[in-house]
Structure 1
Amino acid sequence: MRSSIIIFYFLITINTFSQEKELNSTRYSMISLIANPEKYDGKWVSTTGFLKYIEGEEIRLFLSKDDLYYNNMKNCFVLYLDKSKINEKNISYFNGHYVGLIGYFGNIKHYFYGGAIENISDIISIDDIKAEEKVIEIEQRGKSKD
């Protein structure tokens, strides 16, 4: 039940980043976007993955932690931020986190990447949501022992 509430909260949050994007974006798994990039080319999408940020390099979103660790470029998207809304220094907080984001999907025919997500104006750490859930769970266990 609690995980359903958290997922619902995430979906509501990710889809309310901006009114324009809310009306025009749909949630897709990275697997769908990687497998059929031409189907989503030029559409607003929301998706989740593991973010990799190293100062001076491209920002990437990976399908899994293993893909992030081994730098598997076929299972990642290069990310382009809307710099008027997201400061690149603030993005370092999300390095290694499981995140949700909304952006404009581009099916780039590039050797290294599965695609690109552009005009990203908001990112949310799903790890932070899970951490809040754990705190609530621990607090409730403590109350039930009393």
Structure 2
Amino acid sequence: MKNFIFCLILFAGNLSAQTKQENTAFVSIIELLANPTKFHNANIGFAGVFDYNEGQPLIYLSKDDKYYRNTKNGFILEFDPKYFSSISDLAIYDGNYVEVIGSFNKDLQQYYFSGTIEEITSFTSKDDLITELKYIEIEKRKEKSKTKPR
């Protein structure tokens, strides 16, 4: 009986996560900056440049915006503690191009930022994926060059 209840809870949690993912609108950060009212309180996914910023995670449109602290082209990130136990672990992604999924709040505009992404449930470094894909491609080329007759 205990196993059945545990499985039921696990299934319900997984179903909830899938539903949230299905209800996510994947948008361009430019579209979000241009139309904040359209996405207010919506679950969204988008990509930008991550800035760890001494414990206050931020995301910007570009590396130049991060470098020059162009806050109008950036958002504050608030991670859901259920999914992220330690924000300091994300410091290694500083400057990386990342994708986040969370709830957008246009009204929470601290320090002149364009809003806040709250309850973040997904954080993926696109730079790591691109690096890994390039590595795989290079390894495949090496293998092909070994098998070609000269």
Which amino acid in structure 2 is aligned with residue 127 of structure 1? D
Q: CA deviation at 1:109?
A: 6.2
Q: What CA distance in whole angstroms lies between the structure 1 residues aligned with 2:134 and 2:22?
A: 32
Deviations 1:80-125 (A, max 9, x none): 1112321212121221111011000111263611111000122110
Conservation of the 8 A alpha-carbon contact between 1:21 and 1:102: no
Q: CA deviation at 1:19?
A: 1.4
Q: Normalised by the size of structure 1, how large is the TM-score? A: 0.82
Number of aligned positions between the proteins: 128
Residue 43 (structure 1) aligns with: 42
Between 86-95 and 46-55, the greater mean CA deviation after superposition: 86-95
RMSD after superposition: 1.4
Between 79-88 and 107-116, the greater mean CA deviation after superposition: 107-116
Q: What CA distance in whole angstroms lies between the structure 2 residues aligned with 1:54 and 1:84?
A: 22
Moved over 3 A (4+): none
Residue 78 (structure 1) aligns with: 76
| Higher radius of gyration, 1 or 2 | 2
Q: What CA distance in whole angstroms lies between the structure 1 residues aligned with 2:140 and 2:22?
A: 37
1:124 is paired with a residue whose SS is: strand
Conservation of the 8 A alpha-carbon contact between 2:43 and 2:103: yes
Between 104-113 and 125-134, the greater mean CA deviation after superposition: 104-113
Gap regions ≥5 residues in structure 2:
1-16
Which amino acid in structure 2 is aligned with residue 92 of structure 1? A
Alignment partner of 1:69 is 2:74? no
Q: What CA distance in whole angstroms lies between the structure 2 residues aligned with 1:75 and 1:54?
A: 15
Deviations 1:25-84 (A, max 9, x none): 11000000000100100100000001101324x211000111111111000001111123
- Percent identity of the aligned residues? 38
Q: What CA distance in whole angstroms lies between the structure 2 residues aligned with 1:99 and 1:21?
A: 19
Conservation of the 8 A alpha-carbon contact between 2:72 and 2:112: yes
Q: Which has the higher contact order (CA 8 A, sep 6+)?
A: 1
Residue 134 (structure 2) aligns with: 134
